[in-house]
Structure 1
Amino acid sequence: MLTTNTQYNKLSITMTSKPMQTSKDNQNLDLETNTSTFTINNLIDAQVDFMQQWLRQQAEPLSMEAWQWFGAQPLNKYISRDNLQHLMSDWLLSQPMTAVMRKDIRDILHTVIYHPVNDNVPLSELVDDTQVETLANYVGSHEQQRNVLIHTLVGNETFADLLTQTLYHAINDFMESTLDKAGGVGKLMKLGRSSFEKATNRNLDEKLQAYLHRNIKDLTRRAEANAQAHLSNEEVARLLVTGWARIKEQPVSHLQTYLHDETDNSSIDHIEASIQQSYNRLRVSPYLHTLAVASIDTWYDNHQADTIATVAASLHIDEQAMTQFSTALLPVVHDALDSPWFVAHIREMLEAFYAQSHIKEGLALNNE
């Protein structure tokens, strides 16, 4: 039974194994029973210690029971389509990469690209021959796209003009150097050239360029036709496979020869800056936002009726993984339970609990 003494804020907890006492017996209660008296502060201290010990012992099973309960809940009970849309639009896509993240990307790229292990690993260990063959056959099978590419590279006007200018300069340089070395004959030929230009009212250089351009355009058309005829599906696939065979045994570090690693000229810095520029441009574009919304809708339609555990399992997060994760977090949980802030909050909660009037009355606490 519970009684109170005359001291402020004390709780007397009386424990007895005797039969119920009469009113006369109650007068001598303190003499006939074993009595333990606690102040509220003592009681709170004891409860805080007990809660810390109990939670420390039960942390792991409690976390697993919590996961089992949470995993059994349907996804759409706690996560809506709008929640995911806001997460994507208002948080992920609204934020640029931080300076810390950008530095981490640069450092990780540098570590991966220039790691010593790259000297001993051939490219064939990264890409299987069957993958190359599959890709080669896929590329080779797109005849229409290949013909468009050949026309773009060989049959366009820019290529013809470039080839014309190249040949013209080569011929002109050859003629000039030859005439200079020919002495009197060279001077005579230059005089003849000048007379020809006056008689025809046309510059010989222009006539030569027009002749080359006219004939080269015809040559490019023939080259385009020959390329399209020669580069069959099988030939394109064969060229790709042959090209891969030439380089597949080279070490991964061979890729470093195409990069610069100087402080003022770092290829990695350029790559990271390009990633940053592309990300900043895309994350604010209506195009990407439209695709993000459509992608979330598709995913949510597929999984809204699934449980949390089913969705987690698609990411290889199962009960075994959660057990390992829980075990790894135990030191953090134990440190948190022993931390001053946790003890202070528990004490504040218990003090507020015992300060309630109905609790005081129920425990017969003396407020004098």
Structure 2
Amino acid sequence: MPTSQDNPSLETHPAPSQRQTADVQPNIQPNTSAGAPLSLESIIESQVGFMQQWLRAQADTLSVQACQWFGEQPLCQYLQADDLKRLINDGLLQQPMSDVMRTDIRDILHTVIYHPINDNVPLSELIDDTQVETLASYIGRHDEQRNALIHTLIGNETFADLLTQTLYHAINDFMENTLDKAGGVGKLMKLGRSSFEKATNKNLDEKLQTYLHRNIKDLTQRAETNAQTHLSNDEVARLLVMGWSRIKNLPISEIQTYLNNEADNNSIEHIEASIQQSYNRLRLSPYLRSLVAASIDTWYSNHQSDTIAAVAASLPIDTSLASPLSTALRPIIQDALDSPWFTAHIREMLQAFYAQPAIKASFAGHGDEPR
């Protein structure tokens, strides 16, 4: 066999990580009788065992060093903007969410919304007072947003319709129930109602609803105009803050009162299905793909010169996580090193190495070619 004395280029120097773990270095010896020549198979098997034990001993150090090396590489060396576009547009957006993923989303939402802890945590835990004050001040300073809010609260048709129906039911209840107790007066009024409908060929209920709707809609429009004219920016902001102060101490579970949890009418399932429908409509649309491409170009132009570690830190993923990650992955790495497929690949690599003509010739030249 050739030695370092025969060929100085074969002399090896252990790496720092090897010297630091010299006490755990494997000592694999070929299983041969004393003085018997080594067979190629025994050399390969000894090397396979040595490599596996060495890698097991060095796994933690190598993984940390690999993370450090990877973090020092520039992003643009391995990733281009077009690669990200293909990943998102042709990969993620090309396929709809699987039924399994959709089920997981619904189950997780249900767990989060109906978790018992929500009974003891107030809404103020989710939204800080300063956030509400900032939003209120923003709306108060912008006339367009302020007027939109006032219109939503006072001047919209839904509010007018709701008020119309409320007044109609109140009047109708008075006519149907109170007048029954009014004796002759009540009968006289009901007779007058019947005579009106016959004379005008119109239903009094419909006429009453039309009258209320027309007049209440006019009243709400006047109220909206007055509110927009007389409510100052500070007053609008103050109303928003006051509204928040009334509900901020309610438990988060109060949200549950606006949701149905029945098996055949589950709000979470409706919400998830609606989001999924919108997602499926948008994910293949040229509109979304254009926005994705523009967003990637913007992000890549900002970070293409950064190292991968700098990009990770911006996410943020701290490099200090490398050691805990290495510890967490240790069982997987150890099992992979001991797996049959890894052993077979090492053996195949070594067999290919010794099968090279130059290696065979080197052994033959020293008269020590393994059998």
1:180–1:78 distance in 2 versus 1, CA, 3 Å: same
Larger mean Cα displacement after TM superposition, 210-219 or 302-311: 210-219
* Residue aligning to 1:253: 253
Secondary structure (helix, strand or coil) at the match of 1:363 reads helix
* Residue aligning to 1:271: 271
1:149–1:65 distance in 2 versus 1, CA, 3 Å: closer
Larger mean Cα displacement after TM superposition, 98-107 or 61-70: 61-70
- Number of aligned residues: 339
Rounded Cα–Cα distance in structure 2 between residues aligned with 1:68 and 1:78: 16
Rounded Cα–Cα distance in structure 2 between residues aligned with 1:247 and 1:162: 23
* Residue aligning to 2:352: 352
Deviation sequence 1:208-267 (CA, Å, 0-9, x none): 677656644542332222222353322222222222222222222232232222322322
Point out where structure 1 has 5 or more consecutive residues left out of the alignment.
Answer: 3-12, 17-33
Rounded Cα–Cα distance in structure 2 between residues aligned with 1:147 and 1:276: 33
Larger mean Cα displacement after TM superposition, 340-349 or 323-332: 323-332
* Alpha-carbon shift at residue 324 of structure 1 (Å): 1.8
* Residue aligning to 1:27: none
Rounded Cα–Cα distance in structure 2 between residues aligned with 1:317 and 1:164: 57
Partner amino acid for 2:110? H
Rounded Cα–Cα distance in structure 1 between residues aligned with 2:318 and 2:209: 74
Larger mean Cα displacement after TM superposition, 255-264 or 155-164: 155-164
* Residue aligning to 2:108: 108
* Alpha-carbon shift at residue 278 of structure 1 (Å): 2.4
Larger mean Cα displacement after TM superposition, 215-224 or 97-106: 215-224
* Alpha-carbon shift at residue 292 of structure 1 (Å): 0.9
Rounded Cα–Cα distance in structure 2 between residues aligned with 1:152 and 1:131: 21
Larger Rg: 1
Partner amino acid for 1:317? I
Point out where structure 2 has 5 or more consecutive residues left out of the alignment.
Answer: 7-33
* Alpha-carbon shift at residue 99 of structure 1 (Å): 1.6
How does the TM-score come out when normalised to structure 2?
A: 0.77
* Alpha-carbon shift at residue 312 of structure 1 (Å): 1.5
Rounded Cα–Cα distance in structure 2 between residues aligned with 1:277 and 1:248: 33
Deviation sequence 1:338-368 (CA, Å, 0-9, x none): 1111111111121222223332222126699
* Residue aligning to 1:60: 60
Give the 5 Å matches for 1:62-141.
Answer: 62-141=62-141
How does the TM-score come out when normalised to structure 1?
A: 0.78
* Residue aligning to 1:9: none
Rounded Cα–Cα distance in structure 1 between residues aligned with 2:116 and 2:106: 17
Identity %: 70
1:366–1:152 distance in 2 versus 1, CA, 3 Å: closer
Rounded Cα–Cα distance in structure 1 between residues aligned with 2:188 and 2:328: 94
Superposed CA RMSD = 3.4
Rounded Cα–Cα distance in structure 1 between residues aligned with 2:207 and 2:120: 59
* Alpha-carbon shift at residue 173 of structure 1 (Å): 6.3
Rounded Cα–Cα distance in structure 2 between residues aligned with 1:367 and 1:105: 61
Rounded Cα–Cα distance in structure 1 between residues aligned with 2:198 and 2:158: 32
Rounded Cα–Cα distance in structure 1 between residues aligned with 2:116 and 2:203: 61
* Alpha-carbon shift at residue 180 of structure 1 (Å): 6.6
Secondary structure (helix, strand or coil) at the match of 2:37 reads strand
- Tell whether the 8 Å contact from 1:193 to 1:204 is kept in structure 2 after alignment: no
Give the 5 Å matches for 1:1-368.
Answer: 35-151=35-151, 154-155=154-155, 167=167, 171=171, 174=174, 205=204, 215-364=215-364
Secondary structure (helix, strand or coil) at the match of 1:37 reads coil
1:175–1:60 distance in 2 versus 1, CA, 3 Å: closer
* Alpha-carbon shift at residue 164 of structure 1 (Å): 5.7
- Tell whether the 8 Å contact from 2:48 to 2:343 is kept in structure 1 after alignment: yes
- Tell whether the 8 Å contact from 1:71 to 1:308 is kept in structure 2 after alignment: yes
Rounded Cα–Cα distance in structure 2 between residues aligned with 1:332 and 1:219: 72
Deviation sequence 1:15-42 (CA, Å, 0-9, x none): 99xxxxxxxxxxxxxxxxx845211111
